Structure 1
């Protein structure tokens, strides 16, 4: 059965594309170059990467909406559902025995816009290693939930978990997406260090967002254009188990359904 909205969106998209071709006087050689590039992206299996890098940030601005709640951010292509739900405190993200990196303790609260704690919320978190690598994704990383977990909150909507501080990383730069950024557009392929979150609670819209670290050199030039000012946090220091830990903190506010 025909979806009228899809028909209208497709027709408008095609009209905009045709108008673009006419306004810029594109020729058959331009058309052939674009066609071959699109084929390269497909053959490299980079459509998810390409879409996330160039379009997801714009879609994000129209999807979650602005209000008295935490801003959303791009999910990216590296999310994996089914991460383990942690049950033993102190909550610690799964790591390899030889995991390197600065110890990081992250504290969070989850509330609604009225300031009421959401004690049934679950914080799904994932992030890169201190080398900028993701489990399930990068060569040499396990096909397992490394630095990925779901963390419960208490009756006050509070939780904390232990992990390591992630590093900035480059998206794949040897394929057509990286080639377009580097060689054609003259941009870099780096993303600032960040933590990914997907926070859920019954009666509220799932919040998909990222937190970035103040002082990161790529905050103003994120290749995926995903950074929002309200999602940049300072990092401090704290003590735990007689050791020094990097400390991050954030108060998440969910949007009612």
Structure 2
């Protein structure tokens, strides 16, 4: 009997500021740096002094340490020639400490990267050769689903665009990785769902920049209508438990 797939640990961030979000349409890269399977992603920035950010780091740091330790063991199994060429495991940090671009002094902010592969080809098991199409589940501040695409995955004309500066909460899963060819290792923060608290769209300033509070958060139009039934290939069906947290 096949061994059950281990469930990845799931987490939820505090409110963070999105940077270069690609959450509505998949990013397929460029000619120079293609992403043939597509990717949804965002970087997210928080204050290092924020207790909620510190708590998130404290939750993830042991998993990151374990990922590095596991990579060290896998590195020992590589051929001697490969080990000599690589020199050792190249650890990718859990987060980036942001610096002022002029003074190079810490700004007091940290940056995380969250990503989800859009297309996943199953290579083993009874479903080998089939492809799963995934989308991040999007919610407004009231916890209502944001309908941004139709049943076939086409983005709707009136879909709200999520721009940098948007404030939101991210649900994600953490998984370790080690790439034998490069020696890179670390912890992947796998995006599953996003809740928009303060939307920046179309170059507009955020509500907070005008002095409005975030208590009521972003509440779009009525999303209850116009949504097609999920056909089983979307992210919503895969991550139902995580979405209940919003």
Q: TM-score, normalised by structure 1?
A: 0.26
Greater gyration radius: 1
Q: TM-score, normalised by structure 2?
A: 0.26
- Decide which structure has greater strand share: 2
